[in-house]
């Protein structure tokens, strides 16, 4: 109750040069226990940890310190510290998952998916480290490495298998990379260095990246298109795409999110949603890829519905370069 009052009092907008500005406050609280000996510094540390938890949970709230929070914070710090050395130690590698044309059954390309092999943690999937890499900023250097490495691999395959020049490499971009001022220069340099032409590369971006500052995103996409790159919108249907913007963006591909494909076999309603997305994509002149096609039944339905490409365990899991 006291906390609520404090929160309320400190959240009153403040005056600056006659203008009112909003302020928010996140509070962390640690409580000493009579039978335990606390040093003041420990209490402050715990309150600090709780405050960061309050911020992480969306700010403008308060959290009371609990024992698990410290372990969690220490684990996170350890993860971030391990990540910093991972790039130098060459602990990252790329896996490649085939993307198959549903109508012809022919291999159309790959999506590059990053993996982390670490001595204590073993084989780590991106969901466990990409958020920390984003937060620490390591994603910039990592993303640059991923782009270059995927291009290098594609170039090598093009040289080994000259009859498969049409194969494309899809590469994921992270939020922070998308807002990096020198992204276009970096990509141009990597293409030049690896001797890969832009049209073989498909950059995957998500709805949330482009819906924030639409004008800036639009401008950036045009610059990327000027390098002949293909652009895909990843996990389509999970973000908050405004359909009124979608047709303005110079996109080539729409990747239907797994949540829709996964429900294909369940109900007519779910099939209707996929049909609608396919229609939308095709009306906008986009290729449609169904992510996470796992079963034969799904693949048959997707093919009948006119979906262009499939990617999923039914065809192959992500594989290393051999």
Alpha helix segments (H runs only) across 87-226? 126-136, 138-160, 175-178, 183-194, 207-211, 214-225
| Span near Mg ion by CB under 5 A; candidates 115-123, 197-205, 304-312, 314-322 | 197-205
| Span near ligand C2E by CB under 6 A; candidates 3-11, 59-67, 122-130, 246-254 | 122-130
DSSP 284-307: TT-EEEEE---SHHHHHHHHHTT-
Rule CB under 6 A: say whether 28 interacts with ligand C2E: no
CA dihedral sign, ordered 135, 137, 141, 147: positive
# binding residues, Mg ion (CB under 5 A) = 5
Q: How many residues does the chain have?
A: 322
Three-state helix/strand/coil letters over 178-214: HCCCCHHHHHHHHHHHHCCCHHHEEEEEEHHHHHCCH
Rule CB under 6 A: say whether 262 interacts with ligand C2E: no
Using CB under 5 A, pick the residue from 42, 135, 235, 270 that binds Mg ion.
235
Rule CB under 6 A: say whether 130 interacts with ligand C2E: yes
Structural element, H or E, at residue 93: strand 92-101
Rule CB under 6 A: say whether 100 interacts with ligand C2E: no
| Span near ligand C2E by CB under 6 A; candidates 41-49, 160-168, 192-200, 312-320 | 312-320
Biggest alpha carbon–alpha carbon distance for the chain: 76
Rule CB under 6 A: say whether 319 interacts with ligand C2E: no
Rule CB under 5 A: say whether 270 interacts with Mg ion: no
| Span near ligand C2E by CB under 6 A; candidates 184-192, 280-288, 291-299, 302-310 | 291-299
Using CB under 6 A, pick the residue from 272, 313, 319, 321 that binds ligand C2E.
313
Question: CA–CA separation, 48 vs 63, rounded Å?
Answer: 10
Residues engaged in binding Mg ion (CB under 5 A): 172, 204, 234-235, 291
């Amino acid at each position: 109750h006291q906390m609520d009052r404090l929160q309320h009092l400190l959240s009153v907008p403040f005056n600056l040069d006659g203008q009112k500005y909003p302020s928010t406050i996140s509070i962390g609280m640690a409580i000493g226990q009579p039978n335990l000996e606390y040093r003041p510094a420990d209490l402050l540390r715990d309150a600090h940890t709780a405050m960061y938890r309050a911020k992480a949970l969306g700010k403008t709230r308060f959290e009371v310190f609990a024992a698990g929070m410290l372990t969690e914070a220490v684990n996170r710090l350890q993860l971030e510290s391990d990540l910093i050395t991972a790039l130098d130690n060459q602990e990252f590698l790329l896996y490649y998952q085939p993307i198959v044309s549903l109508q012809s059954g022919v291999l159309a390309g790959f999506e590059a998916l990053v993996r982390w092999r670490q001595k204590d943690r073993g084989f780590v999937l991106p969901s466990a480290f990409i958020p920390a890499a984003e937060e620490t900023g390591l994603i910039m250097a990592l993303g640059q490495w991923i782009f270059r490495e995927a291009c290098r691999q594609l170039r090598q395959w093009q040289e080994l298998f000259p009859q498969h020049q049409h194969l494309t490499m899809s590469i994921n971009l992270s939020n922070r990379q998308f807002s990096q001022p020198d992204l276009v220069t970096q990509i141009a340099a990597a293409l030049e260095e690896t001797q890969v032409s832009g049209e073989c590369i498909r950059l995957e971006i998500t709805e949330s990246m482009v819906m924030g500052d639409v004008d800036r995103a639009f401008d950036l996409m045009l610059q990327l298109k000027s390098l002949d790159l293909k652009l895909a919108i990843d996990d389509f249907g999970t973000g908050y795409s405004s359909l009124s913007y979608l047709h303005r963006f110079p996109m080539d591909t729409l990747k239907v999110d797994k949540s829709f494909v996964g429900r294909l076999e369940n109900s007519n309603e779910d099939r209707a949603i996929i049909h609608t997305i396919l229609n939308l994509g095709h009306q906008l002149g986009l290729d449609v890829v169904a992510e996470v096609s796992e079963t034969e039944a799904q693949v048959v339905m997707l093919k009948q519905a006119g979906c262009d490409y499939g990617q999923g365990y039914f065809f192959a899991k992500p594989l290393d370069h051999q």
